[in-house]
Structure 1
Amino acid sequence: MRIHVPELPTGRLTDAWRACVGTGRFDLALRRDYQDSLALVQREIGFRHIRGHGLLSDGVGVHRPYEYGGARRVLHSFTYVDQVVDAYLDLGIRPFVELGFMPSALATGDQTVFWWRGNVTPPRSWPEWADLVRSTVQHLVDRYGLAEVRGWPIEVWNEPNLTQFWQDADSDAYHRLYEVTANTVKEVDASLQVGGPAISPGSEADEWLARFAEFVTDKSVPIDFVSRHAYSSGPAQHVPFGVHQTLAPAATLLDQFAQPRRQLAGTPLAGLPVHITEFNSSYRPDNPVHDTAYHAAYLAPVVAAGGDLVDSFSYWTFSDMFEEVGVPTALFHGGFGLLTHRQIKKPTYHLYAFMARLGDQILARGADHLVTRDADGRVTVLAWALDPHPLRLSIPLDAASAFMSRSSVHEEAGNAWAAWGEMGRPQSPRRQQLDALREAAEPARSHRSLPVVAGRVDLDLTLARHEVTLVEISAVRDETPPWWDEIRIPGHE
């Protein structure tokens, strides 16, 4: 059966998918490989904001207590903050500020999370915490300008509904943290965006959001956006230096995206922007599924449709420069990233690169495809498949003839993870192996002319197992000179 694509747009494709991307802890951005990776991502995809943990953790060195004149004092130092944010802005990306974790000298306890030990306990002095927040936000405004920083959302903490990220997952303590923090941010300037609660998905997530909404409403605490996270994996089955997990259907992620607006309907928080500040399949940075072609095809319907439900949804993360469970033991180790270390593109990277080439006019969408058009009349088709099947489209095009180009990733193409396996899974690939992996990571590409009959192009695709493909169709403007005679060229008789 051929699908008849309408001539007139049926809607507009938002760019909520590129509004934000996740990153490893803040100070990793000081590394060369990190900045090289982000530069590549920005050239080919172009995210607007970047969010990660650890801005206020000890490794960044913002909170620096000292004694002088017999009294305890605190210096707020922004040496690393400036270097990182300057690098971000140079690369055309802006912070989505996450305020956390607790500096150890300000913490009430020694509970930490991750290999790099982010402290997750409340502050021992609320005035000192407020001073830290005020100084940090004011410094950003002073250095980068109020007009600029007004566009940087400021999120309070990360996943406080989990005991790993907030001591005892104490909602009352988090509410106090949020209240003090949000009011302090607004003291710097009332137009700055502040929000939360950045909750993790789970059985208690709805209850947490309901209590949070009730708290900020009853106490008139400032809130400019609501945030939560979305993952679709089951319990971790541990093996050395990795895990395996089952995955729920990809639609589970879209359901989680939609949950805040459903839950807040009819409340004073209805209508606020909703940001999914982390999403992925697995919540583990050592799950091999992240590296596979299957992963790109699995997430394609989520990335294609997520903008209909939320204002942003942030892929966690852009790079495998990430050390929550320790320094990675191999090039491919199941990291969250769109890129491995050394900038090897994973299939899910190409899903995002393909999205970046779509038009903004939606002509048609289905369970396995999205058809768009841009202002120049170029038609693009993003299609995906977990299992092989045909896709037949009739596409409107105002032209006498058409040029089609196709880029595809699947099990046999654009799949560096498979090539790495065929190499014997070297932990530290040599330069020649890295070059071979980069070549294997490139999509399969093809092109041909297509006839236009009665203003339509028939497009027949056969989608392979675990494929994501991008087809671009544009009108041909024939500029062949009158003396062109191809049959006189040897080999073309």
Structure 2
Amino acid sequence: MKKIILCLLLLQGLYAAFGQNSSTVINVDLGKEIGEMRPFWAWFGADEPNYAYMRDGKKLLSELSAMSPVPVYFRAHNLLTSGHDTMNLKWGSTNVYTEDANGNPIYDFTILDKIFDTYLQRGIKPMAQFSFMPEALSTNPQPYEHHWQPGMPYDKVYTGWAYPPKDYKKWADLVYTWVKHAVERYGKAEVETWYWELWNEPNIGYWKGTVEEYCKLYDYTADAAKRALPTIRMGGPETTGPSWSKAADFLKTFLTHCVSGKNYATGKIGAPLDFITFHAKGAPKIVDGHVQMNMGTQLRDISEGFRIVASYPTLKSLPIIIGESDPEGCAACGMKTNPSNAYRNGTMYSSYTAASFARKYALADHFKVNLKGAVSWSFEFENQPYFYGFRDLATNGIDKPVLNVFRMFALMKGKRVEVKGNQNYSFTAVRDSSVRGPKADIDGIASKDLRSVAVMLWHYHDDDVKTGKASIELNLKGFTVKTLNLHHYRIDDENSNSYEVWKKMGSPENPTAEQIALLEKAGQLTLLSSPAYVKTNNGALKMEIELPRQGVSLLKFDW
């Protein structure tokens, strides 16, 4: 008996060490369409709006626009914050609004125009945010500008900009003036394509007022914006953590107010609401010396947010934008002060992104809601050390592996089709329990249009521990042509990975021009092998693929 138990323990250890069993099968049925391959991934954002027109900011915006077949939307905080072009971490300023000695408004759109001009020149569309409170309007302005740095308590960022206005009419005049200015500068047809919202995470320290005061501010904001441009798209409330009871209460109070509450600005019933927003974050931690992600925490926020929206009959068909949708909460917290953020530079961030976005599709299908966008709160940080561990898409102009997942998504279009496997987790299992234990999540998402098929595969686990590769038998059926042109793209330690190349260089703090050129090349999405022609057999195709832990593959078939 002891020998049997010993053998079982040995087998269990081998199973945990090497990942899956030897038979991982994934079947793709092109004949079974399950929904649109909506490009809701094409949304990004940052706390620091002024980085957009810096050197590396402009470079990255251009890359985001160039990779995407649809317009990329960009969300930023601090668009109304006072100050002259200041650019600390988790800060930014435009100085749009000041007052003269008699309290009369002075508007200056110079810096704000510079930000939005940079977006539009690169084909980026704004998700324009009415925030934060200008110093001259704040009910508690001092101290105003914060000087937060990684390692400091997070609540140090919540200063005078987070308070309600001392004069709601002056705030409404500011909103009206900005929207009118935008229409005059960029044209009505262009501005109608933007999304406009009020504030950020008003259920925590970003808003020092009550939920009722937020609803009041929303009423004045939406009324002024609609007076300036009746066709403007206005939404909110950008609460975070819908699975928290108090956050859920805030979201429901706001939605109920928009449906049936008395409008503070007009006196009528209800408030205009064109789309609904909330945030969802994961929760990584250090376990036994390695990073352990928690995708389930993020998915529970999304699930509860969808459930709440779907419970309102008059709102359930409105577009939903997950205003921040990330593995955890602080993009500007590096991995030196927050060791659990060590996932950000390598392939863990890539595989997490692939696996979590696929579950966003599944959750939207499950609740039958209209998911329009999922904002990755990840951009870039100017004048910071290489691969410092920020949650960003690029470091000093060098693309990180995670950006290549979005390049993969950009190659997928048309209809999503059925994918079934024997080593995957259902979306409910990931939501409820995350991806733990000896079994990894080896799964995929697939799309088809008239002349192409794309299959994204990942080998994900919450624990960032190296194991053996997964041997995958991939079966596709439903092709209507005999010959296919195959491009196989890969993200792993050897492909599409500037971080591993940088480490092999000795992790230089100041790379040479030659090293930078090599890193820029390594940061691009690369092919695992040369393009090849493959033959189908009665509309079917079978392939054998080896995929490392935390690796992501995209197989693109064209004809």
| TM-score bucket (shorter structure) | 0.7 to 0.9
Aligned pair partner of 2:72 in 27, 43, 48: 48
- What is the match of residue 227 of structure 1? 277
C-alpha distance in structure 2 between counterparts of 1:347 and 1:460, whole Å: 24
- What is the match of residue 166 of structure 1? 207
C-alpha distance in structure 2 between counterparts of 1:296 and 1:277, whole Å: 20
C-alpha distance in structure 1 between counterparts of 2:303 and 2:193, whole Å: 24
Amino acid at match of 1:141: V
State the shift of 1:125 in Å.
1.6
- What is the match of residue 148 of structure 1? 190
Q: Which moved more, 1:281-290 or 1:259-268?
A: 259-268
Return closer, same or farther for 1:3/1:283 CA change in 2, 3 Å cut-off: closer
SS at match of 1:183: helix
Deviation by residue 1:412-461 (Cα, 9 ceiling, x = unmatched) = 32222223233333333232332232233343531333232222221221
Report 1:187-336 matches (<5 A).
187-201=227-241, 203=244, 204-216=246-258, 217-219=260-262, 220-234=270-284, 246-248=292-294, 250-267=295-312, 268-285=314-331, 286=334, 287-308=341-362, 309=364, 310-317=371-378, 319-321=379-381, 328=384, 330-336=385-391
Is 1:9–1:361's contact at 8 Å kept on the other side of the alignment?
no
Deviation by residue 1:1-21 (Cα, 9 ceiling, x = unmatched) = 654432424133332424422
Is 1:409–1:444's contact at 8 Å kept on the other side of the alignment?
no
Aligned pair partner of 2:528 in 445, 466, 490: 445
State whether structure 2 residue 456 is matched by structure 1 residue 382.
yes
Is 2:37–2:412's contact at 8 Å kept on the other side of the alignment?
no
Is 2:497–2:523's contact at 8 Å kept on the other side of the alignment?
yes
State whether structure 2 residue 488 is matched by structure 1 residue 457.
no
C-alpha distance in structure 1 between counterparts of 2:30 and 2:527, whole Å: 29
Q: Which moved more, 1:350-359 or 1:439-448?
A: 439-448
State the shift of 1:369 in Å.
0.9
- What is the match of residue 478 of structure 1? none
State the shift of 1:83 in Å.
2.3
Aligned pair partner of 1:429 in 495, 499, 511: 511
- What is the match of residue 466 of structure 1? 550
Is 1:134–1:185's contact at 8 Å kept on the other side of the alignment?
yes
Count of residue pairs the alignment pairs up: 455
State the shift of 1:211 in Å.
1.8
C-alpha distance in structure 1 between counterparts of 2:542 and 2:286, whole Å: 46
Is 1:233–1:245's contact at 8 Å kept on the other side of the alignment?
no
C-alpha distance in structure 2 between counterparts of 1:356 and 1:441, whole Å: 16
C-alpha distance in structure 2 between counterparts of 1:226 and 1:339, whole Å: 29
Is 2:485–2:534's contact at 8 Å kept on the other side of the alignment?
yes
Is 2:281–2:329's contact at 8 Å kept on the other side of the alignment?
yes
SS at match of 1:221: coil
SS at match of 1:315: coil
Identity over aligned pairs, percent: 25
State the shift of 1:347 in Å.
1.5
Amino acid at match of 1:186: K
SS at match of 1:472: strand
C-alpha distance in structure 2 between counterparts of 1:148 and 1:363, whole Å: 34
Amino acid at match of 2:475: S
C-alpha distance in structure 1 between counterparts of 2:292 and 2:540, whole Å: 43
C-alpha distance in structure 1 between counterparts of 2:454 and 2:124, whole Å: 26
Return closer, same or farther for 1:157/1:320 CA change in 2, 3 Å cut-off: same
State whether structure 2 residue 100 is matched by structure 1 residue 66.
yes
C-alpha distance in structure 1 between counterparts of 2:407 and 2:104, whole Å: 49
Return closer, same or farther for 1:146/1:432 CA change in 2, 3 Å cut-off: same
Is 1:260–1:274's contact at 8 Å kept on the other side of the alignment?
no
Deviation by residue 1:122-180 (Cα, 9 ceiling, x = unmatched) = 112211111111111111122222222222111100011112x112x632222222122
Aligned pair partner of 1:365 in 415, 419, 423: 419
Task: Give the unaligned 5+ runs of structure 2.
Answer: 1-22, 83-92, 149-156, 263-269, 335-340, 365-370, 425-442, 461-466
Deviation by residue 1:259-286 (Cα, 9 ceiling, x = unmatched) = 2231133434333221101111121222
C-alpha distance in structure 2 between counterparts of 1:440 and 1:146, whole Å: 41
C-alpha distance in structure 2 between counterparts of 1:402 and 1:214, whole Å: 53
Return closer, same or farther for 1:372/1:44 CA change in 2, 3 Å cut-off: same
SS at match of 1:55: coil
C-alpha distance in structure 1 between counterparts of 2:320 and 2:113, whole Å: 28
SS at match of 1:393: strand
The list of structure 1 runs, each at least 4 consecutive aligned residues, that deviate by more than 4 angstroms after superposition, is 1-4, 111-114, 234-237
State the shift of 1:258 in Å.
2.9
Aligned pair partner of 1:39 in 47, 62, 65: 62
Cα RMSD (Å): 2.5
Return closer, same or farther for 1:245/1:133 CA change in 2, 3 Å cut-off: farther
C-alpha distance in structure 1 between counterparts of 2:230 and 2:553, whole Å: 45
Is 2:211–2:250's contact at 8 Å kept on the other side of the alignment?
yes
- What is the match of residue 473 of structure 2? 392
Return closer, same or farther for 1:200/1:112 CA change in 2, 3 Å cut-off: farther
State the shift of 1:320 in Å.
1.5
SS at match of 2:445: strand
- What is the match of residue 485 of structure 1? none
Return closer, same or farther for 1:441/1:33 CA change in 2, 3 Å cut-off: closer
Give TM-score, length-normalised by structure 2: 0.76
C-alpha distance in structure 2 between counterparts of 1:45 and 1:270, whole Å: 28
C-alpha distance in structure 2 between counterparts of 1:420 and 1:472, whole Å: 29
Deviation by residue 1:273-301 (Cα, 9 ceiling, x = unmatched) = 21101111121222332222011111212
C-alpha distance in structure 2 between counterparts of 1:402 and 1:265, whole Å: 42
Deviation by residue 1:315-364 (Cα, 9 ceiling, x = unmatched) = 112x2136xxxx63x1112222222221x121111110001111312232
Give TM-score, length-normalised by structure 1: 0.85
State whether structure 2 residue 180 is matched by structure 1 residue 138.
yes
C-alpha distance in structure 2 between counterparts of 1:200 and 1:371, whole Å: 30
C-alpha distance in structure 1 between counterparts of 2:491 and 2:30, whole Å: 28
C-alpha distance in structure 2 between counterparts of 1:356 and 1:341, whole Å: 23
State the shift of 1:52 in Å.
0.6
C-alpha distance in structure 2 between counterparts of 1:452 and 1:236, whole Å: 46
State whether structure 2 residue 409 is matched by structure 1 residue 355.
yes
Is 2:56–2:380's contact at 8 Å kept on the other side of the alignment?
no
C-alpha distance in structure 1 between counterparts of 2:146 and 2:450, whole Å: 47
C-alpha distance in structure 1 between counterparts of 2:94 and 2:346, whole Å: 33
C-alpha distance in structure 2 between counterparts of 1:431 and 1:254, whole Å: 42
C-alpha distance in structure 2 between counterparts of 1:236 and 1:400, whole Å: 50
State the shift of 1:50 in Å.
0.9
